Amino acid sequence: MKNQQTKKYEKILKTLRRYRREGWELKLEDEYSTPKEIAKARAVCEDTCDYMPDFIVDPQTGHKFINHNFVRNEC
């Protein structure tokens, strides 16, 4: 039986793959040089995509992604 952590990781990976497949633009948090830019990116996301989380952490790499949607405007 899989433990909770493994299930959580699999769910996150599945979500990341789905976002990429559907054309979501995911930006690494590291690509933003200042906290102001990170806050701006988060605000854009919150304005357009209320139901999406601010960040997704890829459990395999540890990379932290900011969810963006500049490709699709269907939110």
- In this prediction the pTM is 0.37
The β-bridge partners of 48 are none
What distance in Å separates the CA atoms of residue 2 and residue 41, rounded to the nearest whole number?
Answer: 35
Q: CA–CA distance from 62 to each of 2, 13, 30, 48, 59 (Å)? A: 21, 12, 12, 26, 5
pLDDT in tens, 25-67: 666 556 655 667 666 666 655 555 544 555 666 666 767 666 5
Burial class (CB in 10 A: 0-12, 13-18, 19+), 66: buried
Q: How does residue 18 score in pLDDT terms, banded at 50, 70 and 90?
A: confident
